[in-house]
């Protein structure tokens, strides 16, 4: 550690000492640093020469100033030690010189750097003689540009490094400049580099999840009450047809649960047959079947029987109820354009819990939902062996109330037994209220 007096000397008096030392030894060019320090004049002799020159130059007070002398001795003692590293090889234009000129020249180079810092602080030293100025200018050729000068504190904290051979000088200001610069540290830059692709890749894609699509479809096309008159045509594998007529009622309760009732009105042998469904908030829905020929009583359909065909059609009991989204798992498989150019989401629906998996007759369903209308245009049903069982295709899509849309016809094709069922809407009303009385056992039994 340097003392306060040494620091004071370096900051304010070093330019004078550098000038004097340069004047005394300007006739001795710097030689290679490999020569022994024993060839240099003793510090005491150099101190005498410096004081003599100060007096001759008109600096009598400085020559006897205790602070100045202490700093001068400190500098001369430092120069009396051998250099720590090899210096730059002298050029061929330099004439051989005594070893004592090495220390003087290196002191002049270091002092000029320190003198520049002191001058920028507003020092009051006198300008050095012309010969000293030339020596100082020559020694600063290896210094950093003026745009990045070393901080005074950094220069003063390591005087030993500042007074070494001139060829080793550029590394010290580089360190000082780095410490004083407000440049951004490497770590934050690395974080910014990593965050750019992250921000780029995390930009919104505009795609919906499968569940979001199903939620939007339900919200857009679900009616609070609905009545429909339907004509049904059954076609067997031989091409024979059978026609039926039926009505369908739907009503939504205050709890958001639905009640459904389907009643056949013809032909006469099945007139009055009713399928009634009550949606439950938990567990499977309740379904009841009324067949007049079997007596005036509604029979509950066991959950395991809901996979069976309804009245000889290609629709199972479970196909004629509202789908509970929370009981299923939905995955968006892809987007696909159908034959007529309809762009569709292709969504796979699987049972979402054990109870649903036991009661359903399907391992999965694949739904083709039109992107702009959110109408299901086609549904493929797969049996428990994951083989395609049947396909429901919707036709004649039309608006029934604002954005709410319905299919005019739905064709269910059974691929395994080569049978088809076509249902066509004859009349539909989604605006008129439905009386609760419709969904009672009394109403069902009293129908004539």
Same domain, 129 and 263: no
Q: How confident is the model at residue 185 (pLDDT cuts 50, 70, 90)?
A: very low
Point out the least confidently predicted range of 1-15, 93-107, 331-345: 93-107
Residue 281, in any domain of the structure: yes
Closest C-alpha among 376, 373, 372, 371 to residue 349:
376
CB atoms within 10 A of CB 81: 13
Same domain, 225 and 297: yes
**How deeply is 355 buried, as exposed, middle or buried, from its count of CB atoms within 10 A (0-12, 13-18, 19+)?**
middle
Q: Name the more confident of 300 and 56.
A: 300
Torsion angle in degrees (nearest 10) through CA of 90, 94, 95, 96: -10
Residue 68 has pLDDT above 70, yes or no: yes
Same domain, 108 and 221: no
Contact (CB, 8 A) for 123 and 114:
no
Over residues 218-264, the pLDDT tens digits come to 999 999 999 999 999 999 999 999 999 999 999 998 888 899 999 99
Average pLDDT rounded to a whole number, residues 425-433: 95
Do 231 and 112 belong to one domain? no
Q: What is the pLDDT of residues 252-270, one digit of tens each?
A: 988 888 999 999 999 999 9
Please check whether residue 287 lies inside any domain of the structure.
yes
Please count the structural domains in the chain.
2
What is the residue range of 66's domain?
4-180
Res. 40 pLDDT band, cuts 50 70 90: low
Check whether residue 276 and residue 424 sit in a common domain. yes
End-to-end CA distance of the chain: 114
Q: Where does a domain end: 162, 180, 198?
A: 180
DSSP 219-263: HHH--SEEEEEEEEEEE-TT--EEEEEEEEEEEE-TTS-EEEEEE
CATH number for the domain harbouring residue 438: 2.50.20.10
Question: Of the ranges 55-69, 94-108, 133-147, which is most confident?
Answer: 55-69
Q: Based on the domain organization, do 159 and 256 belong to the same domain? A: no
Residue 43 lies in a domain: yes
Query: Does residue 195 fall inside a structural domain?
Result: no
**Do 149 and 25 lie in a common domain?**
yes
Query: Of 180, 202, 232, which closes a domain?
Result: 180
Q: For the CA atoms of the chain, what is the radius of gyration?
A: 50
Q: Is the residue at 205 inside a domain?
A: no
Mean pLDDT throughout 15-34?
A: 47
Neighbours of 207 (CB within 10 A): 10
Q: Name the helix (H) or strand (E) containing 381.
A: strand 376-382
d(CA 295, CA 292): 5
Residue 165 token pair: 């051979």
* Within a domain: 203: no
Question: CA 81, CA 99: separation in Å to the nearest integer?
Answer: 12
Contact criterion met (CB below 8 Å) for 368 and 344: yes
The C-alpha angle with vertex 334 and arms to 332 and 340, in degrees rounded to 5, equals 120
* Two structure tokens written together for 175: 């360190």
């Amino acid at each position: 550690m340097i003392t306060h007096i040494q620091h004071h000397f370096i900051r304010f008096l070093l330019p004078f000492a550098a000038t004097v030392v340069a004047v005394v030894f300007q006739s001795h060019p710097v030689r290679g640093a490999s020569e022994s320090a024993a060839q240099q004049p003793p510090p005491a002799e150099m101190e005498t020469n410096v004081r003599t020159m100060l007096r001759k130059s008109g600096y009598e007070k400085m020559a006897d100033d205790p602070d100045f002398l202490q700093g001068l001795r400190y500098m001369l003692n430092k120069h009396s030690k051998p250099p720590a590293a090899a210096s730059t090889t002298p050029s061929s234009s330099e004439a051989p010189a005594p070893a004592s000129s090495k220390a003087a020249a290196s002191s002049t180079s270091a002092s000029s750097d320190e003198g520049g810092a002191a001058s920028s602080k507003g020092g009051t030293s006198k300008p050095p003689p012309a010969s000293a100025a030339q020596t100082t200018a020559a020694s600063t050729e290896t210094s950093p540009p003026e745009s990045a000068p070393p901080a005074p504190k950094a220069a003063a904290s390591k005087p030993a490094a500042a007074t070494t051979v001139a060829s080793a000088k550029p590394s010290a200001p580089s360190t000082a400049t780095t410490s004083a610069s407000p440049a951004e540290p490497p770590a934050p830059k690395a974080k910014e580099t990593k965050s750019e692709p992250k921000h780029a890749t995390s930009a919104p894609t505009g795609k919906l999840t499968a569940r979001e699509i199903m939620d939007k479809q339900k919200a857009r096309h679900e009616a609070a009450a609905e009545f429909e008159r339907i004509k049904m045509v059954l076609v067997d594998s031989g091409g024979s047809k059978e026609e039926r007529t039926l009505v369908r009622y739907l009503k939504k309760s205050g709890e958001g649960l639905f009640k459904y009732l389907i009643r056949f009105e013809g032909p006469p042998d099945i007139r009055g047959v009713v399928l009634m469904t009550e949606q439950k908030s938990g567990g499977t829905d309740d379904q009841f079947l009324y067949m007049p020929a079997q007596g005036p009583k509604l029979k509950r359909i066991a959950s395991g029987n809901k996979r069976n065909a309804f009245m000889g059609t290609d629709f199972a009991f479970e196909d004629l109820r509202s789908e509970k989204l929370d009981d299923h798992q939905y995955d968006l498989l892809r987007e696909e354009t159908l034959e007529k150019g309809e762009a569709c989401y292709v969504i796979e629906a699987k049972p979402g819990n054990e109870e649903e998996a036991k009661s359903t007759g399907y391992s999965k369903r694949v739904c083709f939902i039109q992107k702009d209308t959110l109408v299901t245009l086609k549904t493929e049903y797969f049996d428990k062996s994951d083989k395609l069982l049947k396909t429901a295709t919707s036709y004649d899509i039309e608006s029934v109330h604002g954005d709410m849309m319905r299919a005019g016809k739905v064709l269910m094709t059974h691929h395994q037994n080569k049978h088809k069922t076509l249902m066509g809407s004859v009349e539909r009303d989604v605006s008129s209220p439905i009386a609760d009385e419709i969904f009672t056992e009394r109403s069902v039994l009293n129908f004539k």
